[in-house]
Amino acid sequence: MAYKRIILTSGFAMFSMFFGSGNLVFPLLIGKETLDTSLYGTLGLIITAVVVPFLGLFGMILYNGDTRLYFNKLGKLPALILISMMLSLMGPFGVVPRCITVAYGGLSVLYPTLNYPLFSLAFCVLITVLIWRSNRVVDVIGLILTPFKLGGLLLLLLIGLYHAPEVSPTTLLPQIGFSTGLYLGYQTMDLMAAFFFSATTVAYLRQNLKPGADGRTLFQISLKALLIGAALLALAYIGFVSLGAHYASSLIEVRPESLLVVIAEKALGSLALPIVGYTMAVACLATAVILTILFVDFLYMEILKGKISEKMSIFITISSTFIISLLGFSKLCTILGEILAVTYPALIGLAIGNILAALTRIDLTRYAFWGILSLNILYKYGVIT
C-alpha cells in the first residue's frame, strides 16, 4: 500500500487527539457505575464518543477540512454563534478548566495537601508561558507526551485487567447502563473537537499525497486513517470501562478525576503513582494548551477583529479559565451535561445533514440542526413531553 505509513500515522494521530483529559475519566466512571452491565455502558459510550465524533470527522473530510464551508450551511451569523459557543465550551468555559481539575486529581493523590486554587493559578500561568511566544511548543509536548502517555496507559490497562478482581453484581437494568454510557459519552465533547481538529488531519494528508493524486485518493486514505483511529479509540474505551467495573469496590469514595491514579495504585503498587499522576497532568496540559490556542486565535481574529492585542486576548482567556476552574470537576460536568444534552443531538443532526448533502446533494442540514435543537429545548423546559 503506497500510503500505508501516512495512513497509520494519521490514524494514531486521530486517536491521540481525541484521547484527552475527559477520556481518562468518563470510561472509568461508566465502569464504576454500571458494574456487570458495563457491556451496555460501553456500547452507549462507543456510540456517542466514537461513532458520533468520527461521523463529524468524516463529514469534515468530505468538506476538505474547511470549517467555514461546513458551518455556513446554517447561515453566516448562526455559524459564527455556533462556532463561538463550541470553542468557548472547549476552551475557557468548559474543557480547559476541566483539564485543570483532572490534572489536580492525578497529582492530589501524590500530594494530599496540594491547594487547588493555587494549583489552578499555577497551571494557568504555565499555559500562558507556553503559548505566549510560539505555538511550536505544542509539537514538542506532543512528541514527548504521546509515546509516554500511550505506553504508560497500555501498561496500566494490561496489568490492571490481568490482576483485576471480579466484577460485583448489580441490579441496574441494561437500558440504564446503556443510557449512562450514552450520556457520559456526550461529556467527552469529541464531536466538537472533530470539527476543529479535522483541518489539521486533512492538511497533513494532502501535503503527503504523491504528485498527480486526486481528491478521490485523499478521500480514500482519509477514510482508512479514520477507521484506524476509531478502532483504537473503541478498544481503549472497552479496556477502561472494564477497569472501572473491576475495581469499582475500591473507588466508592474516590473523586472522578482521581479514579485512574487509585486504580494504578491497586494494580501496579505505590511506585506507579508518580508515573500515572504526572502522565495525567502532562496530558491535560497538552490538551489545555491546544484548546486555549484555538480559542485565543478565534477571539483575536474573528470576534475582536484585532481591536485589542493578541496578548490581551490571551490574558482574557486565561483569566476566564482560572475563574471557571474554581467550580470544580463535578460542578463543571453538571453544567456541561445540561448544555450538551440539548445541543449535542443537534450537532449530530448537523453532521449527518452535511454528509448527506455532500454525497447526494440533498441538503437538509439546516432543517436537521434547527429542528432537533428546537425539539430538545421544548422538551427540556416541559413544553412537550
Separation of alpha carbons 270 and 88, rounded Å: 38
Q: Considering its fold, how many domains does the chain have in total?
A: 1
Residue 361 lies in a domain: no
In a domain, 313, yes or no: yes
- Mean pLDDT, residues 65-84: 89
Distances in whole angstroms, Cα of residue 100 to Cα of each of 115, 215, 227, 322: 13, 41, 31, 9
Contact 30, 210 (CB under 8 A): no
- pTM to 2 decimals? 0.83
Q: For position 136, what pLDDT does the model report? A: 46
| Helix/strand/coil (H/E/C) assignment for every residue in 104-150 | HHHHHCCCCCCCHHHHHHHHHHHHHHHHHCCCCHHHHHHHHHHHHHH
CA distance linking residue 385 with residue 381, whole number of Å: 9
Q: What are the cell numbers at 116? A: 487547588
Q: Is 350 among the domain residues?
A: no
Please check whether residue 67 is in contact with residue 196, taking contact to mean a CB–CB distance below 8 angstroms.
yes
Between CA 341 and CA 48 the distance in angstroms is 12
Q: The C-alpha cell of 220 is what?
A: 480514500
Identify the pLDDT of residue 228. Answer: 85
Quick: pLDDT tens for 84-104: 999 999 999 999 999 999 999
How many CB atoms are located within 10 Å of the residue 382 CB?
A: 7
CB 204 within 8 A of CB 13: yes
**Residue 214 falls within a domain, yes or no?**
yes
pLDDT tens, position by position, 267-301: 888 777 787 888 788 878 878 887 898 899 889 88
Would 257 be classed as within a structural domain?
yes
**The CATH number of the domain where 23 resides is what?**
1.20.1740.10
The CB-based long-range contact list for 78-85 (8 Å cut-off, 24+ gap) reads 80/302, 83/298, 83/302, 84/298, 84/302, 84/303, 85/343
Whether 53 is in a domain gets the answer yes
Which residue's entry shows cell 477571539? Answer: 299
Q: Find the mean pLDDT for residues 52-72.
A: 86
pLDDT (0 to 100) of residue 138: 42
CA–CA–CA angle 312, 91, 259 (5° rounding): 135
Whether 263 maps to a domain, the answer reads: yes
CB atoms within 10 A of CB 68: 12
Q: Per residue in 206-254, pLDDT tens?
A: 777 676 666 677 777 878 888 888 888 898 899 999 999 999 988 888 8
Range of the domain at 86: 4-327
pLDDT of 118 reads 96
User: In this structure, is residue 345 part of a structural domain?
Assistant: no
Helix axes 26-34, 215-246, angle to 10 degrees: 50
